[in-house]
Structure 1
Amino acid sequence: MRSFAIQSVRSLRTIRTTSASEPFLSTRSASRVSTPASQAISETAKQEGGTVKGSTSAQMQSEVGKQQNFEQAAQEVGSKMQNAPDQVTQEDAAYIHSREGRVLGRSNPPPGSITSEAEALAAANEGRPNTGNASQATAPGSNSQSAQDRSDNFEKASAQVGQKMATDPESVTKGDGDLLHSREQRAFGTTSKGGIASQAQSLARENQEKGTA
């Protein structure tokens, strides 16, 4: 079976690169979103005869684990940014930077992410020059609901196409890949190299070349 890694917001579980001006998502919301990813992993593991190192299901579990770790850090630091912004430290910023970087697969998270906002706040609190706008991180944004909607839409598309990739990879189409790419871009302002969207697009191109989709 083709190897791919589903990143659940918490979608894949939750707020992978959500701006600090958008309230961090609650544990209740995260738990609601995790179910499709868990089902996809379980289904893939059954088809592979179990989860073993290097298998598709193992890779999927690894990606979800990274996302869960980032979500925990985002909730902890995000809460501090909202409720006690003057107490955000460089340690907080480094903590969230590390967790977000692992999820995105890049050392420098994009502008507007919770990491960049935390770093700007920490710099302001410690009296160091910074290029961020810390004031934006001190209050919830007016578009928090639309951010939640974008995250939910990406999660739904990820679960749908991810299941297709796990059970019938030759039927993945260009439309599936484009849908995920669009939803991921809208939800997070960027797409992750090697993420489910890029994997789906790559698979779709191969299927087109073979004439299976």
Structure 2
Amino acid sequence: MSTASGITPQDISETARAEGGTTKGSMSAQMQSQHTKGLNAIGGASQDQDTTGTTSNTASSISTTSDITPAEQSRLDRERNLQEALDVVQPKMAYDPKSITQEDASLLESREQRAHGIIPKGSVTATARSLADKNAAYGGTDTTT
């Protein structure tokens, strides 16, 4: 189902896979935001921010969120859950990579697997797993010496 913006959930998923996962500020995150705004519109003109950051008025063709199928809502929820986990773990990866734990990596793996069905090499999730494994091997709390 697409919104007035023309973005479909499949477009978002394919973009996220191409980017190696959804990250804050990425094209797939912006697409998800715009799609969700379209789904949440109550009709009439709504203000949406497009992916270039400009604001435009568009008329929504969706009057309520009840137009979303349960399967589509489930997929949107899985994407949102992944993004929430990324929002917690990514800053740790950027500013204190030695603090990444096995639990952080497992959380991302679980959420990415549920959202996309795969964990691509080089993705944020794969990088978190690598950091967690290194941290555990080099004096992390998960190992004994």
Q: Which amino acid aligns with 1:117?
A: T
What does residue 116 of structure 2 align with? 104
* More helix as a share of residues: 1
Report which structure shows greater RCO (CA 8 Å, sep ≥6).
1
Match of 1:60 among 72, 82, 93: 72
Match of 1:70 among 82, 99, 106: 82
Please give the residue correspondences for 1:184-195 in structure 2 after superposition, counting only pairs within 5 Å.
none
Contact 2:20 2:120 in 1 (8 A): no
Q: CA offset at residue 58 of structure 1?
A: 2.4
Q: CA offset at residue 112 of structure 1?
A: 0.9
What does residue 56 of structure 2 align with? none
After superposition, the C-alpha distances for 1:8-48 in whole angstroms (9 at most, x for unaligned) are 77x35x8567559x9x4249x946742234425875686xx
TM-score by length of 2: 0.58
Return 5+ residue gaps in structure 2 as ranges: 1-7, 42-60, 139-145
Match of 2:125 among 93, 115, 119: 115
Q: Report % sequence identity.
A: 28
In structure 2, relative to structure 1, the CA distance for the partners of 1:64 and 1:45 (3 Å cut) is: farther
CA distance in 1, matches of 2:73, 2:40: 7
CA distance in 2, matches of 1:57, 1:38: 17
Contact 1:80 1:87 in 2 (8 A): yes
Return 5+ residue gaps in structure 1 as ranges: 1-5, 129-213
In structure 2, relative to structure 1, the CA distance for the partners of 1:59 and 1:78 (3 Å cut) is: same
* More strand as a share of residues: 2
CA distance in 1, matches of 2:32, 2:69: 18
Match of 2:107 among 90, 95, 106: 95
Contact 2:98 2:135 in 1 (8 A): yes
Give the length in aligned residue pairs.
111
In structure 2, relative to structure 1, the CA distance for the partners of 1:101 and 1:16 (3 Å cut) is: same
Contact 2:120 2:126 in 1 (8 A): yes
CA distance in 2, matches of 1:41, 1:99: 24
In structure 2, relative to structure 1, the CA distance for the partners of 1:71 and 1:8 (3 Å cut) is: farther
RMSD: 3.8
What does residue 84 of structure 1 align with? 96
